[in-house]
Structure 1
């Protein structure tokens, strides 16, 4: 990929805008079912839906979204400002006198964040469907599941300086740029940086600086209010014949790349600054991965780790072998599987966890929290942000007035014939979707938190109701109220 020409990018953006190459028009063009099928690696339903359609949107859909060659005349008509020569100069195609062949995908990508709804054009390398083969080692990935996950978990705060480490196609840098004065985006791949810069220029974003280099080397001596990273964390055997995909493999043994990141990142944070990343961690020789991860982060820093899943070595190996385009039907599958399982066995790995890591250079008292959350989640960034705010607020004690979050419901379970519930649950509709078992006193406390009565008044009334000394009741309720504040069941008025 060449360094993107600003005028060429502006011309391409104007052509794409005129053609209305966006998610909603494309879904209307070929139908929602066909659009969903493409996400599962099938393009035939789209081709059937637009068969014989030579319009501009259909042409650009086949060319940029599916990665299929198109007649030169059709591409020239679809991109009147840029033209085929401009397209090839940007490194997005090769051309003959009659046919233009894409060398990259360029797809509309919708997003929703705390600032609203939007959509960008995101260019990346041709995928397996377009290539018809397994991915090359230097593949630059588009917006995938991990990218969307990281985007969802980043706490939506305004910052002066942000760092996107391992930017890839640049999607995180673009998202962070909406809430940052300046963003530095780094990557070890010059091709990835070229795509990221192209995507920034295509979408009119000018507050991102792109730097080539590994890990924190390009920003030595600098500090940031926010660091985000979807690093190449996939654990890959260092064995001959095992592909080393740049977009997912950092070249280190086991989970050493995640360890290196979390040990190093704090030195690049401003006071109050935070770092958020996705990662894998190994459970080895009886030591759980979450415990190993906790030991990597100095004890004077806030650490909140959410493990979303834990896989066996076999399940993990199969997942990432298939991710590279190799299936059990291929001759390469068994040797790759053997290499992965041998690698895990050599280190005594019994399980591999995946999840989110948040590190913050906050004020005392320190927050240290590692948990497994397997249920469906939504709005994780906002939930983490509320938890941090609540933790900081609790340093001065429980606020005088509390309110129950609007997404909290209560469920009571009674045995047949009994009037008193055997189980009372508080359930969270958003965020981490937690369910917490509570006793009648705590359930009554949460139910009374409507902003009218103070915490002290509610506690005193409950002490009278349950005929227990106020000091005893408060000693029981106070730590659990703190937990409900951090978990988002309760909030300060």
Structure 2
């Protein structure tokens, strides 16, 4: 790619040609779902654009010029298109996303050049962005940025963004994406982990590093460098690059030798001092399941004859390390003053993050801060119940009709609470909805269990504390 020309390039003509040829998000989704055999292009231009920018096929030069009537020459000059005789091909797949058009590598490049393969907007990228607490950071670091989608979306929201990646080719594609989206300037840095930002601090760090726990390191976009643990490499350093009160959000996978201590590796890597942390395990797989999961997505190993020895190689690697399982999850860190630390660990199966996830994480840290500073009994505080809590009931058919058997509630993002609830806990939540302190319903709660109100007061206060930590209630005095 011609970097000098890219810096001066305005993509308006190219974007206009794509729109005129109906190379749009909806059309691409239809093409992807139906496949090339069933899909019927709406025009010759659309067919050529799909061949060039989605399928990675070459087409006749004349056909490409007709499909790109105003931008063909500039795309050749930039190095996005390559001419070979009378044929033309694109070096990059161009995808239409809700944010706009973005470039990425064609999947077939993973077969030939896995060492510098650049993914598109992966599901994990959208997942980690949903983890960002509901804050308004001025400065953001997009760590292991790949094609730059996270950093670009933060820049479009008005943040000052720095983005770094080990793969120089990823940064080239990220700069192309910056031009395609028309976003503000970003400081792109090349280097390993946090080396490119030595001595710098940020209000927010978002990290989606290569976390796949494989024996190889053959794909810089996916695999953890051989024999290197992402948690050990990054978690001790992240807080050093945060401004006071700043947050770091990171996805990671890690191996464990005992299911009783699933959190051992990442928990040991989190600094004890000056950091508040939320460590969450969302999935756990056996070595065999993990190998099948990742190799099943890799185009290099779709053939059974190729996949079997590779799975065996992975499993033998885990056996040498005495690995019992591999966990997937995330870590949220907040830079705090010494003496304000807390470390919270949770494990629950979650397949996707809801849009409310960042708000719930922000509320978790605010509630923890309020608890630390609060003096006096929680029974005398006016709380309010957060919006969006869901309650479901299970019932059994009795002699007189349906009878409630179980009740379950979930927090708005289904993250920090998803479990059964008894009538006493439900009454505490109702007190919060009514804006009255829990002490005013203490006698009622005692009657539910046939106990003295003063005797159960300590247990009820612990229930209130748990509801705060699980973000189901917040103090009325605090405005979120």
Fold shared by both chains (TM-score > 0.5): yes
In the alignment, what sits opposite 2:415?
Answer: 432
In the alignment, what sits opposite 2:106?
Answer: 126
CA contact (8 A) 1:236 1:253 kept: no
The partner residue of 1:68 within 54, 57, 63 is 57
CA contact (8 A) 1:463 1:470 kept: yes
SS of the residue corresponding to residue 236 of structure 1 reads coil
1:24-423 maps to which residues of 2 (within 5 A)? 25-27=24-26, 29=27, 34-37=31-34, 42-45=35-38, 48-50=39-41, 53-55=43-45, 57-84=46-73, 86-96=74-84, 98-110=86-98, 119-128=99-108, 133=111, 136-179=114-157, 181-238=159-216, 244-253=218-227, 256-284=229-257, 288-300=261-273, 301-327=275-301, 329-363=303-337, 364-376=339-351, 377-379=353-355, 380-397=357-374, 398=378, 399-411=381-393, 413=395, 416-417=398-399, 423=406
TM-superposition CA deviations, 1:348-376 (whole Å, max 9, x none): 11100011111111355433222222145
Moved over 6 A (4+): 21-24, 464-467
Change (3 A) 1:203 1:438: same
1:5 matches 2:5: yes
Paired residues, what number? Answer: 466
Distance (whole Å) between structure 2 residues aligned to residue 492 and residue 193 of structure 1: 45
Give how far 1:294 is off: 0.9
SS of the residue corresponding to residue 20 of structure 1 reads helix
Give how far 1:234 is off: 1.4
TM-superposition CA deviations, 1:287-326 (whole Å, max 9, x none): 6331221111122321212212111111212223233313
1:489 matches 2:479: no
CA contact (8 A) 2:410 2:418 kept: yes
TM-superposition CA deviations, 1:391-446 (whole Å, max 9, x none): 22222345523124333225254673599855432234534284322332221121
TM-superposition CA deviations, 1:229-260 (whole Å, max 9, x none): 1111112214xxxx611111242316x12211
1:444 matches 2:422: no
Give how far 1:466 is off: 6.7
Change (3 A) 1:199 1:451: farther
Give how far 1:227 is off: 1.0
Distance (whole Å) between structure 1 residues aligned to residue 21 and residue 69 of structure 2: 18
SS of the residue corresponding to residue 395 of structure 1 reads helix
CA contact (8 A) 1:313 1:341 kept: yes
Change (3 A) 1:346 1:76: same
Farther-moved stretch of structure 1 (202-211 vs 350-359): 202-211
Change (3 A) 1:396 1:19: same
Unaligned runs of 5+ in 1: 111-118
SS of the residue corresponding to residue 433 of structure 2 reads coil
In the alignment, what sits opposite 1:113?
Answer: none
**TM-score calculated relative to the size of structure 2:** 0.86
Unaligned runs of 5+ in 2: none
Change (3 A) 1:430 1:69: same
Give how far 1:169 is off: 0.5
CA contact (8 A) 1:173 1:185 kept: yes
SS of the residue corresponding to residue 68 of structure 1 reads coil
RMSD: 3.0
Farther-moved stretch of structure 1 (180-189 vs 214-223): 180-189
TM-superposition CA deviations, 1:189-238 (whole Å, max 9, x none): 11111111111122112241001111111111111111111111112214
Give how far 1:464 is off: 7.2
Give how far 1:177 is off: 2.1
Give how far 1:68 is off: 2.6
Distance (whole Å) between structure 2 residues aligned to residue 492 and residue 401 of structure 1: 4
TM-superposition CA deviations, 1:8-35 (whole Å, max 9, x none): 641x3443146428999442x47x6544
Change (3 A) 1:296 1:373: same
Change (3 A) 1:464 1:320: closer
Give how far 1:283 is off: 0.7
CA contact (8 A) 2:394 2:407 kept: yes
Distance (whole Å) between structure 2 residues aligned to residue 447 and residue 472 of structure 1: 22
Give how far 1:334 is off: 3.0
**TM-score calculated relative to the size of structure 1:** 0.84
Distance (whole Å) between structure 2 residues aligned to residue 286 and residue 403 of structure 1: 35
Distance (whole Å) between structure 2 residues aligned to residue 34 and residue 61 of structure 1: 9
Distance (whole Å) between structure 1 residues aligned to residue 23 and residue 414 of structure 2: 27
Change (3 A) 1:427 1:231: closer
TM-superposition CA deviations, 1:76-109 (whole Å, max 9, x none): 344344323x213323221145332111101112
